[in-house]
């Protein structure tokens, strides 16, 4: 009888840890946003060199702005979230 109780506790422990582990793995895909581990507000602040050119269509666009936009275009979901 004592062996059955120990076996039952081992089974309960293994099942509960399996359920907890599966829930943790399943839930991690929602943890990160469209910009991955990066905060959307911080990513938006990186676009600050482009604000003048975005506001005034005749303003010259800096090379730094173009480099930032090229980098953001590699992840369109993040760019959409920022905008």
- Residue for token digits 């800096």? 62
* Helix (H/G/I), strand (E/B), else coil: 31: coil
Q: Is residue 75 part of a domain?
A: yes
Residue 49 has pLDDT above 80, yes or no: yes
* Helix (H/G/I), strand (E/B), else coil: 62: coil
Q: Is residue 39 part of a domain?
A: yes
Residue 23 has pLDDT above 70, yes or no: no
* Helix (H/G/I), strand (E/B), else coil: 60: coil
- For residues 50 and 21, which has the higher predicted lDDT (pLDDT)? 50
Q: Is residue 30 part of a domain?
A: no
> Looking at residue 58, what DSSP letter applies?
T
Q: Is residue 41 part of a domain?
A: yes
Q: Is residue 14 part of a domain?
A: no
Q: Is residue 28 part of a domain?
A: no
Residue 21 has pLDDT above 60, yes or no: no
Q: Which domain holds residue 58?
A: 35-82
Q: Is residue 5 part of a domain?
A: no
Query: Which tokens is 40 given?
Result: 């959307």
Q: Is residue 43 part of a domain?
A: yes
Q: For residue 59, what are the CA distances in angstroms to 44, 56, 62, 79?
A: 20, 5, 9, 22
**Structural domain count, the chain:** 1
């Amino acid at each position: 009888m004592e062996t059955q109780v120990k076996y039952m506790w081992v089974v309960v422990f293994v099942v509960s840890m399996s359920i907890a582990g599966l829930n943790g793995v399943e839930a991690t895909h929602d943890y990160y946003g469209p910009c991955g581990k990066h905060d959307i507000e911080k990513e938006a602040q990186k676009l600050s060199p482009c604000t003048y050119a975005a506001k005034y269509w005749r303003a010259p666009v800096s090379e730094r702005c173009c480099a930032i936009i090229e980098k953001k275009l590699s992840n369109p979901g993040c760019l959409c979230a920022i905008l």
